[in-house]
Structure 1
């Protein structure tokens, strides 16, 4: 198997590189236009049945790359994929069931299932938001997926969808006082005094709002993101926990680079990356306990060596170094197959 794969890669590379010209490499050659190097494939991926290899390629020097494929039964033929065939290609980033006979994936925001034996694709869900990261769970009877910053569970037997998490943007509920000037406030009060109908409508509106808030289920847990970005949201195989990370962007000053040759004819300021060493954000890791309906933010301050000084400090024995926690950027929680244990990246 390894020998066959090596042969395939060799023929693929040899075939695609045949367009390039052999020449001695020099500084002058490197500084020239890159056309002398020829064209190379990118984003190489397998088809779902391991019969075709797909890749982006541009042997004709078109303005952009286009999708091509090579069939393993005819390695000498590089075929450009048509628009119709491209729509029918099954993505290779889906999730297989335990027997690897079915695969689920998200395409154009909708949920699909693909039968590898019959080679038939079926749409399962078309919701009013984009479906992401679908996975088989619970003996392949249910499918978890993310959407609108939350995790949902879809039952393949009865077709029911259940929302498991309750993330919401913004902060905890709190009324913001209207910031109006003294003149605006006087006009508002004068208008309400003169127009009793408007005043009555305002009172009824406030009473209705107070009633709705009183009728809300206070026991429903909601985790407010408070301006942070939700990332790496994933569900444990037993559907009892959900892992996630929160990213808080720092309002750092940007480096501005002037563009003197903008098509508008004016000098335009371009934003460049911040200075080296400036992270620009902080990250937190959280665990959503679905049984207890609560969130636990993971404390990383107890990690071994988190306050150890860097080795280079030993070169400056006379300097007093401040002991502080290192900056850590956790990214994701990985659950075991039964969902009872997890590791952190």
Structure 2
């Protein structure tokens, strides 16, 4: 074991010995009650006033039914004060807004209207007050107008004159065209005009009048019919000439599942519309450029994008053989079809010279960064990230853009994130020369990126100190030394002040819930930072105290962060709770998925489970939870270790962890249980069915039992589509392995779960009945969704889990 971890473990155990006799007793009812009633509510949603003198945050020290907005004035006594409703309604939203280049003005939308903030006087000017919703405001390239969206169309508003102009005219219908006259009709009309002078004169007058009327009409945006397709991400170029947009066509025949709701106000069963299942027909997308100057709307072709026809590796065997025999009548092989893709909105350089779009393959294997010439609609490759598993990771973004992407001050250097070297790092590329540079490197992730206002520095959040810590750094835009601006061990969630000299930090440690802290960086007389190294960073000051006396009365354990060898030589990180008097009984907790970790040094989002682990440890259980394959924080290979086989390496990591406990901590291999929710429930089922000798008991909470029944965005990443990769689904779905159950199994599931449907456990129950299994039970919760809400439900569920382990281990 690592010496540091060994020291932490021994020190923690020594500290607990002195309080063992006075440790208050924990009960399931106590720890599963409404957290506001006895823990307290941590500050959240932190944002700054524009003058950087006031911190705003959501808080609830009075245990009200809902959180309220509080503020701390740095000019006063720095005590939290509740914000009045009048002041709250006048504040800009906490999701920011968009600045002009000089950062003297900021435009934002709130409650469907537009507002303009003067960043020098802090005066707010309301720009719109309409029933229609205005959104996504930005400054035009010349900064004389505000560009915004209303009813899927773009508009501009002149800041001086108030002139409102419509830029686009999208019509959701289909253009109706008059049928062209046939040959006979054309001849007859021509003959009539040649015979009758009055007909010719009247037509000439009518044509001249229409010409004059048309010339007198003001120029309107081109009417474009979308044929029922949805307009997405309309954007106006900085020079005002081009509008880019995406049209989405929803797939026909995609069946949506309904979730029955049995306990309703009406007394009747009511269906809750839920979602489609993985593999359902997907939406298709097409990217367009509206050239206002030429009055044309044309689509952008992707046929020349490198790799646009490449097949995923898992398909190459079958598809390659098929392609070899699939020929046209002329005897030539048919060209491979273009892959389905989605588009991100263009990111423009401030001078309007360059535009970059993100293209993502629907099969999740490719992400392209492409330079767009809107005049010719040509695309030029800047960067292609290919992953035979799936493209993801911090800052990489989704199919509709997002992620880290922007231009530096020179207007031709683009910065972005990529997992090209196995970890999500920060890169730049010169879009004119193609020169690419990696700015960060190492076995850690860059998790958030913010460009400074002067575009000379990046502010980064990374886990480079330890996979279980998050710290905030400043780094020059050219790369080089990173100065760490946070000093506390754990997680530091930073809200940077508008003047970039202060850090409002939501901080927590393993056994300390989130509180608000402040770091004020030293500045010179002009307000510039005096920041040569991390030594210049002062200690943070605590601003809030949220915990109740009752909660603080219990000495919550600081679990040791340990490393465990996996069978393939990789290192597994885990959190270990070890009792003073081990009984040999062990419980392994399996966290949920998405992209998540739990073996870290901050207050877990699984705080109820954390408290339950303290209760178990009080009762003599050894408790362990690990960041198995697929967990966040450890780079691409760890993230994709579950590709095409969930319940493979992610499960063997748990089996290896139990063997490590047996070898190093004296636990009884016959008295090991595990539990978890969602993905954790899935792993519990796979463990009980496929490695039944490793676990004597398991509690599967809201588990996926058949991945073919789960949603498309998550599952298609990892297992592809069931109709294309049935092997991956069959080896990853517990329902196919239910015959392997030996130990005792508890299943708990909310009946109105719109994420993992209750149907999952109903189908598994029928399978267990047909297999004549008797050592299992199902607890159903009629009014709970995927995440439980009611304290009584939490209590019932965890009493059952505790009973299972007490009786069977």
Indicate whether 1:333 and 2:346 are aligned. yes
Partner in structure 1 of residue 246 of structure 2: 245
Indicate whether 1:134 and 2:137 are aligned. yes
Cα separation, 2, equivalents of 1:250 and 1:169: 16
Cα separation, 1, equivalents of 2:292 and 2:30: 57
1:344 to 357, 360, 377: 357
Deviations 1:174-220 (A, max 9, x none): 69xxxxxxxxxxxxxxxxxxxxxxxxxxxxxxxxxxxxxx9996996
Corresponding residue SS for 1:329: strand
Partner in structure 1 of residue 147 of structure 2: 144
After superposition, residues 47-62 of structure 1 pair within 5 angstroms as 47-62=49-64
After superposition, residues 252-267 of structure 1 pair within 5 angstroms as 252-267=254-269
Structure 2 gap segments, 5+ residues each: 1-22, 179-209, 324-335, 359-809
More divergent stretch after superposition (217-226 vs 243-252) = 217-226
Cα separation, 1, equivalents of 2:314 and 2:34: 42
Partner in structure 1 of residue 162 of structure 2: 159
Cα separation, 2, equivalents of 1:156 and 1:259: 51
Contact 1:95 1:103 in 2 (8 A): yes
After superposition, residues 104-115 of structure 1 pair within 5 angstroms as 104-115=107-118
More divergent stretch after superposition (96-105 vs 35-44) = 35-44
Structure 1 gap segments, 5+ residues each: 1-22, 176-213
RMSD: 3.5
Corresponding residue SS for 1:304: coil
Note the C-alpha offset of 1:54: 2.2
Partner in structure 2 of residue 121 of structure 1: 124
Indicate whether 1:84 and 2:86 are aligned. yes
Deviations 1:277-320 (A, max 9, x none): 44642222222211112212122232211221212346x57973
After superposition, residues 124-273 of structure 1 pair within 5 angstroms as 124-127=127-130, 129-173=132-176, 221-251=222-252, 252-273=254-275
More divergent stretch after superposition (106-115 vs 220-229) = 106-115
1:98 to 88, 95, 101: 101
Note the C-alpha offset of 1:127: 4.9
Against the structure 1 CA distance between its residues 318 and 302, is the aligned structure 2 distance closer, same or farther, given a 3 Å change threshold? closer
Corresponding residue SS for 2:80: strand
Corresponding residue SS for 2:45: strand
Cα separation, 2, equivalents of 1:279 and 1:67: 44
Contact 2:48 2:56 in 1 (8 A): yes
Against the structure 1 CA distance between its residues 267 and 240, is the aligned structure 2 distance closer, same or farther, given a 3 Å change threshold? same
More divergent stretch after superposition (284-293 vs 322-331) = 322-331
Corresponding residue SS for 1:77: coil
Note the C-alpha offset of 1:321: 5.3
After superposition, residues 295-306 of structure 1 pair within 5 angstroms as 295-306=297-308
Cα separation, 2, equivalents of 1:96 and 1:129: 24
Corresponding residue SS for 1:325: coil
Contact 2:141 2:350 in 1 (8 A): no
Contact 1:244 1:333 in 2 (8 A): no
Partner in structure 2 of residue 320 of structure 1: 321
Contact 1:165 1:290 in 2 (8 A): no
Contact 2:173 2:226 in 1 (8 A): yes
Note the C-alpha offset of 1:222: 0.9
More divergent stretch after superposition (261-270 vs 151-160) = 151-160
Against the structure 1 CA distance between its residues 317 and 225, is the aligned structure 2 distance closer, same or farther, given a 3 Å change threshold? closer
Contact 2:40 2:63 in 1 (8 A): no
Corresponding residue SS for 2:86: helix
Against the structure 1 CA distance between its residues 319 and 291, is the aligned structure 2 distance closer, same or farther, given a 3 Å change threshold? closer
Number of equivalent positions? 283
Against the structure 1 CA distance between its residues 30 and 270, is the aligned structure 2 distance closer, same or farther, given a 3 Å change threshold? farther
Cα separation, 2, equivalents of 1:225 and 1:264: 40
Deviations 1:197-254 (A, max 9, x none): xxxxxxxxxxxxxxxxx99969963111221221211211111111212222224111
TM-score by length of 1: 0.70
Note the C-alpha offset of 1:160: 2.2
Corresponding residue SS for 1:154: strand
Deviations 1:144-168 (A, max 9, x none): 2222322222223333222222212
Contact 1:285 1:332 in 2 (8 A): no
Cα separation, 2, equivalents of 1:228 and 1:318: 31
Note the C-alpha offset of 1:84: 0.6
Partner in structure 2 of residue 8 of structure 1: none
Deviations 1:65-99 (A, max 9, x none): 22222334568622222111112212353222222
Against the structure 1 CA distance between its residues 340 and 259, is the aligned structure 2 distance closer, same or farther, given a 3 Å change threshold? same
Deviations 1:26-50 (A, max 9, x none): 9x79994562764233332222222
Deviations 1:99-122 (A, max 9, x none): 212222233433332222222222
2:310 to 305, 308, 317: 308
Contact 1:151 1:164 in 2 (8 A): yes
Contact 1:48 1:90 in 2 (8 A): no
Contact 1:45 1:55 in 2 (8 A): yes
Looking at both structures, which has the greater relative contact order when contacts are Cα pairs under 8 Å and sequence separation is at least 6? Answer: 2
Against the structure 1 CA distance between its residues 153 and 317, is the aligned structure 2 distance closer, same or farther, given a 3 Å change threshold? closer
Pair member with larger Rg: 2
2:292 to 275, 290, 293: 290
Contact 1:256 1:269 in 2 (8 A): yes
Corresponding residue SS for 1:143: strand
Corresponding residue SS for 2:321: coil
Cα separation, 1, equivalents of 2:313 and 2:31: 40
TM-score by length of 2: 0.32
